[in-house]
Amino acid sequence: MQDGGGQQPQQNALTKEPQMTNMQSQKNTQNIMRLRKTLHAMMMKDQSFDNPVERKPFLQQAWSFISKNMDAIVNDLGDTSDGECQTEPCPASYSAWVLVQHMDPFSQYQKAFLQKMPTNHKKYGSLRLRIALNDKIREFASQGLHGCNDPRFNGDPVSAVRDAKLFPNKIGGSYPKSKAEAEQLAAQTGNTCLLAAAKAVGGGISYTS
């Protein structure tokens, strides 16, 4: 009787361990879903801004949230394990990428996120190119080249070159569908700064998110 009584605590411990593991797994899933929903809502609000300059205060608020939850965000790569968005709410890393790539005035935010971003993420290359493009625009502005120091830009050329009020970004109501169309549009609208920077870094011009 004593031997049987002595084994009982071990059996209880073995039973409790998988229960605690399941509870922790459920809690983690709930936390991820909350994170996805919050970032998805932010991403949708971000899309409502037409003017990149007016978007700035919102993006600073978004970065505050992203930076506080960075590890959980970059590790949420979704069912495809590469951060692609197939169902909504999107993986946290995808929604955060949409927000961060619009943080052109804040290069430190973009670079900090890229450092944490897994290199196998579907949008890793896109963000890296965006950063290179912005760095080249700033370089040209400091040198007074290619119209990147246009007084209309108010010292923020990386935002201004993407401002549809200054440079229309659609052809017949639609965004350019190819690199050639994008470059043609930039040339037609006089967006010489963006065009020169894109050619210098060897990447295409993206007018969409």
CB hemisphere CA count around 102 (13 angstroms)? 31
Within-domain flag for 135: yes
How many structural domains is the chain composed of?
Answer: 1
**For the stretch 66-98, what's the b/e string if a residue is b when 16 or more beta carbons lie within 10 angstroms of its beta carbon?**
beebbeebbebbbeeebbbbeeebbbbbbbbbb
Within-domain flag for 188: yes
More confident residue, 23 or 156: 156
pLDDT tens, residue by residue, 23-56: 777 878 899 999 999 999 999 999 998 788 889 9
More confident residue, 165 or 14: 165
What region does 106 belong to: left with phi over 0, alpha with psi -120 to 50, or beta?
A: beta
User: Over 70: is that where the pLDDT of 72 sits?
Assistant: yes
Within-domain flag for 6: no
- Between CA 69 and CA 74 the distance in angstroms is 9
Within-domain flag for 101: yes
Residues forming beta bridges with residue 171, ordered by sequence position:
174
Within-domain flag for 155: yes
Within-domain flag for 3: no
The full length of the chain comes to 209
Within-domain flag for 2: no
Q: Which domain holds residue 89?
A: 11-201
User: Over 80: is that where the pLDDT of 89 sits?
Assistant: yes
Kindly indicate the confidence band of residue 173, based on its pLDDT and cuts at 50, 70 and 90.
confident
Q: Nearest to residue 117, comparing CAs of 107, 108, 105, 127?
A: 127
Within-domain flag for 38: yes
